[in-house]
Amino acid sequence: MIEARGLVKDYGTFRALDEVSFSFDDPGIFGIIGHNGAGKTTLLKCMAGLIQPTAGDLVIEGIDVRRNPARLKEMLGYLPEESRLYETMTVESYLRFFGDIYGIPADECRIRSDKLLSSLKLDPQGKRIGELSKGMRRKVAIARSLLHKPSLLIYDEPTSGLDPMTSRYIIGYLAHLRDTMQKTILLSAHNLYQVEEICDRVLILRQGKIAAFGTMDELREQFGSLSYHIRFVTADPSALPHSLSFEEESGEYVVIAESMDDLNSVTAAVASAGGTLRGIESRYPSLEEMLLMIGK
């Protein structure tokens, strides 16, 4: 159970989080999205106990994060937006170093590291961290965040800067951590298709305030109803009613109808102008469209 009540974070006179309140009590993946500077990293850092909120309450799994951030660290794996790894260490010695910090015995640490590296499909071949690619380094940072078997993961842009294949692999891996290991994952991301794909709940921040919060279905309901994308061909588009606004896409015409009545009148108009329907697709607004509606 995660509960934030009236969370405020000021950096000097600038208010980065402004009375943020939400609660989230199921295990699952919780996405935080928003334009640049909306306050995502600030909120994640507050939840990880890395910075102190200026005001408000934050309770995670019964732990009062403001008063007892050290207790939270035992159950938390944190992945910062940019991980500073120790460049001259090998991956194995880096994970062993963190295993020591967590008090994991050397043998157990080796077993866990091997397992994590293999499940992340990372074969460092004795290389030093400074010699690894960006995607490999991100995987090392993820392995480090999981070494002490935390139940809660806070990941700031886990796939930023990764190629599509690595990025897809990481997203699949996070879904696996939720589905087979029952981890709760809080993440921020700019790739909204990925958020839409794996997040059970999404919080949209705008200028430090909550603009929307809910499951994808709840957000779709909040941001608008179903629309219908009608595709058709016609030899004579000038025969269509002038009021009909359409676009041309790869030799077909597309009209967006906002209601069933609209859909009926568009299809009737296409038929009477001698056109032929090619398809009707029903669509809810995507997260990207929601974010554009909210504005900066």
Ligand X SMILES: Nc1ncnc2c1ncn2[C@@H]1O[C@H](COP(=O)(O)OP(=O)(O)OP(=O)(O)O)[C@@H](O)[C@H]1O
Report the distance separating Cα 121 and Cα 112, nearest Å: 14
Least CB distance to ligand X at residue 275 (A): 44
Binding residue for ligand X, selected from 14, 62, 165, 245, defined by CB under 6 A: 14
What the block records as the tokens of 87 is 């460049």
By C-beta, is 167 or 267 nearer to ligand X?
A: 167
Closer Cβ to ligand X, 32 or 122, answer by number: 32
Residue 66: alpha-carbon gap to chain centroid = 25
CA distances from residue 265 to 39, 227, 268, 269, 284 in whole angstroms, order as listed:
44, 14, 5, 6, 20
Residue 17 CB, nearest distance to ligand X (Å)? 8
Minimum distance of ligand X from residue 38's CB (angstroms):
4
The answer to whether 198 and 228 have CB atoms below 8 angstroms apart is: no
**Complex with ligand X: residue 196 or 252, whichever CB lies closer:** 196
Distance between CA atoms of residues 271 and 110, nearest Å: 69
Closest approach, Cβ 52 to ligand X, in A, equals 12
Give residues 164-203 in contact with ligand X (rule: CB under 6 A): none
Interface with ligand X: number of residues (CB under 6 A): 11
User: Based on CB atoms, which residue is closest to ligand X, 41 or 184?
Assistant: 41
Q: What is the phi/psi pair of residue 30, to 5°?
A: -120, 115
Which residue from 146, 152, 78, 90 is spatially nearest to 116, judged by alpha carbons? 146
By CB atoms closer than 10 A (0-12, 13-18, 19+), residue 222 is middle
Alpha carbon distance, N-terminus to C-terminus of the chain: 30
281 beta partners: 229
Q: Does 86 bind ligand X (CB under 6 A)?
A: no
CB of 2 to ligand X, least distance (A): 18
Both tokens assigned to 202: 């999404």
Among the residue ranges 10-18, 56-64, 129-137, 283-291, the one whose residues contact ligand X (CB under 6 A): 10-18
The footprint of ligand X on residues 28-47 (CB under 6 A) is 34, 36-42
Residue 114 CB, shortest distance to ligand X, in Å, is: 33
Q: Would you say 194 or 267 has its CB closer to ligand X?
A: 194
Helix, strand or coil, per DSSP, at residue 239: helix
Window 41-80: contact mask with ligand X (x via CB under 6 A) = xx--------------------------------------
Which range of residues in 9-17, 100-108, 143-151, 227-235 is near ligand X by CB under 6 A?
Answer: 9-17
Choose, by CB under 6 A, the member of 1, 3, 11, 26 that binds ligand X: 11
Shortest spacing between CB 174 and ligand X, in angstroms: 19
CA dihedral 59, 217, 220, 34 (to 10 degrees): 30
Which residue matches tokens 């999981």? 146
Task: Indicate the helix (H) or strand (E) that contains 119.
Answer: helix 106-119
For ligand X, the binding residue among 16, 29, 270, 290 (CB under 6 A) is 16
Helix, strand, coil shares of the chain, percent, nearest 5, are 40, 30, 35
**Distance of closest approach, residue 117 Cβ to ligand X, in angstroms:** 28
- Closest CB to ligand X among 52 and 118? 52
Positions in the binding site for ligand X (CB under 6 A): 11, 14, 16, 34, 36-42
